[in-house]
Chains A and B, each alone.
Chain A
Amino acid sequence: MTAQEIQAKEATAGKFKQDLSGRYNLDKIFAAAAWTATVVSVVVLAWLLLTILMDGLETLNFNFLNSFPSRKAEEAGIRAAFFGTLWVMMTVAAVSFPIGVGAAIYLEEFASDNWFTRLVEINIGNLAGVPSIIYGLLGLAVFVRVLEPLTGGRSVLSGGLTLALLILPVIIVATREALRAVPNSMRLAGFALGANKWQVVWHHVLPSAMPGVLTGVILALSRAIGETAPLLAIGAVAFIRSTPDSLQSAFTAMPIQIYNWVGRPQEEFHHIAASGIIVLMVMLLLMNTIAIYFRNRFQQTR
């Protein structure tokens, strides 16, 4: 290396600036941006909840809870929608719970790794990404039209089955996780005592996985309870002045009723829509609290 080259090198080396204060300033800006983004999300949530409470608390009274829909906002209430939602949710639970848990037991406990289980697994992953309104179109074609003699057309049963298909992948995934969390020693102990696979699953694995399963099922149901699009697509109507009395009766549900009220131009209807939202959110909150209770119990016993 000649002296000149060394000199040149030293010259460039001298040009390198650490510029620590500048870099730390950039650091501060970035940290501030990250915190701002998080705070904005929290503020938006607070803004959303506050608007709804301010708009809806005034009109939320017993009369509102106990009345049927009406052309006059002051007389309109949520009774039909509330019972409609209850009926639909019971149908969804009755259908999706056994099917989802059964499918998960099959995939996790019985099935060997063959083409069928792999197909089902890929399929469940894909189904979770299908927009909910597409399920509504499926329900419209299959449950409302083709199976009309069985379901009674645009009925509680059609709505419940559509929503059950929608949340089935969620339940299967949650149940599989809960089953996987049961220690293998429990199964082996059962087998050592001479029980077969089903006896072990039924008497030991399932009971100890139950809190986890229930958490998953309740969270899935709380997703179904707020789903509007599939019910709109199968043609649930908002203006129904009776509570459902069978699986085949026409129905309305809380989100449908809220959608209908929000869509009207008069401001009074917007207020009762907000009241409806409060009732819906309280139901969601209750379900989530129960789910969290189960989850905590689950974590303690493990």
Chain B
Amino acid sequence: MTAEIPIDNIAPGTWRPNRDRAQMIQLIIKIICGAFAAISIFTTIGIIGTLIFEAFAFFGDLPRELSQDGDNVSYVQGVIHFLTAGRWTPLFASKQFGIFVLISATLMITFISILVALPLGLLAAVCLSEYASPKVRRILKPVLEILAGVPTVVYGYFALLTVTPFLQSFLPPVEGFNSLSAGIVLGIMITPMVASLSEDAIYSVPQSLRDGSYALGATRRETVWSVVLPAALSGIVSSLILATSRSVGETMIVTLAAGSNPTLGFNPFVPVMTMTAYIVQVTKGDAPHGTIAYETLYAVGITLFLITLALNVFSFWFVRRFRQKYE
């Protein structure tokens, strides 16, 4: 035995473990990990900060851009123009900044996507949780997960090169770029999200409620329709709102399939331009910092951010307000 045993040199009873080094390492690690956790807060601050900073620059420059005919435009008029003008032409010689043009396209495509995803997702959720046997469920759930994992650029390819020609084969007014095909494919993209979140909500409805309903003589559909779905309503609605928020912020499908033609109107057959598509168009063209084109990016970005934030906050609030608790 050559190893030193410290206890030999010290009188028994006075030996104490030396934990200083271990404690110091722990303190250092704790500070580093705490800093890592704080990075998520800095990300939020960074996002909100840059959006607000550049959007302020935009609204500061807006009156100068608008008053090129000689008449003076105030800041308030600039903001009103931004919210109400009927054209969006920041890259042209005569500039107009009516954000509502972009919002209308986003709204229309989101609406179409929800029209697709609501029945598909909800019925798939009911099917998985109420009708499918465990074996079938084990096969179907991964399929939905694959659908959710397909990169959005692939959906863009599918919308532009497969779904649009397919629609054109029986709907001649559909143009090469249109919001109908983008909306449909977007709906397919968010269907797994609606399905899996709704299924979680439906699954957590206690079996005793279903049994009670059957005991009263209700059929399966009546049980699902008037007992299970109302009991799971908060989860279903919140899944729909989250899916809406996802649709609003989705970029690649709408950029590829819906075109880049900012027009006001709700015709689903013609090319339009969503908020996200505009951001891609400008960043692709390499807008130098300080130009009005660069600043519009952040004006559009903050509008998009506020819309999705409002939807997310509403969804959280809705779940907390209307959640049924079962013990």
Contact = CB atoms under 8 A, between A and B. Distances in A.
Interface residues of A, number: 88
A196 interface: yes
Contacts of A168: 39-40, 43
A23 B249 contact: no
B250 A131 contact: yes
B120 A102 contact: no
B30 A106 contact: yes
A52 interface: yes
Contacts of B301: 133-134, 137
The 4 closest A-B pairs by CB, nearest first: A131-B249, A226-B151, A37-B123, A106-B33
Main SS of chain B's interface residues? helix
Contacts of A107: 37
A69 to B, nearest CB: 16
B289 interface: yes
A73 interface: no
B102 interface: no
Contacts of B124: 34, 37-38, 41
A257 B124 CA distance: 34
5 contacts: A38-B132, A127-B40, A132-B251, A138-B47, A262-B161
Interface stretch (B62-70, B92-100, B264-272, B305-313): B305-313
Interface stretch (A58-66, A118-126, A208-216, A243-251): A118-126
A198 B249 contact: no
A33 B119 CA distance: 9
Interface in A65-81: none
Contact of A137 (B147, B192, B250, B279): B279
Contacts of B251: 131-133, 228-229, 232
Interface stretch (B5-13, B20-28, B73-81, B203-211): B20-28
B147 A45 contact: yes
Interface in A102-129: 102-103, 105-107, 110-111, 116-117, 119-120, 123-127, 129
Interface string A216-230: 000000110111110
Contacts of A131: 246, 248-251, 276, 304-305, 308
B309 A45 contact: no
